[in-house]
Amino acid sequence: MSKLPLKEPRWRREGEMPDYRFSLANERTFLAWIRTSMANLAGSIAIDQLTPQIAPTPIRIFLCLAVAVIGALLAIEAYRRWSLQEQAMRKKRELPHAWPLGLMAIVVAAVAAVIAALILLAR
């Protein structure tokens, strides 16, 4: 089996190596974001496959795509955030603010509200 041609980022050779406990905590946070991303993808599939009568097809497809896109963006943001936090720790800087969290929370809440309304209207 061949290895992926991923190289170590250049920033990993900059600054000082942070306390490994902080790096491991940052990695656990990254993995939590990835799990959340995968849960969003599973939710998207569930909406499509398990609730075909919840809404007209175009609305259901839109909801599925919205949840899937959120999942994809979360995965990308997970890596970006992990990387920025590692760099900040190495350079003894303040950890970056996570503004995408608020935006994603609003979008997920909006999708949840639409799904709840559709469930109520379907009865």
Domain count, the chain: 1
Is residue 9 assigned to a domain? no
Query: Does 1 fall in a domain?
Result: no
What's the pLDDT at 3? 67
Contacts of 119 (CB under 8 A, 6+ apart): 54
Q: Which residues does 88 contact at the CB level (< 8 Å), separation at least 6? A: 94, 95, 96
Tens digit of each residue's pLDDT, the chain (123 residues)? 556 677 888 888 888 888 889 999 999 999 999 999 999 999 999 999 998 888 899 989 999 998 999 999 999 999 999 999 999 999 999 988 888 788 878 888 988 898 899 889 877
The residue range of the domain holding 41 is 18-122
Give the per-residue pLDDT at 1: 54
Asked if residue 26 is part of any domain, the answer here is yes
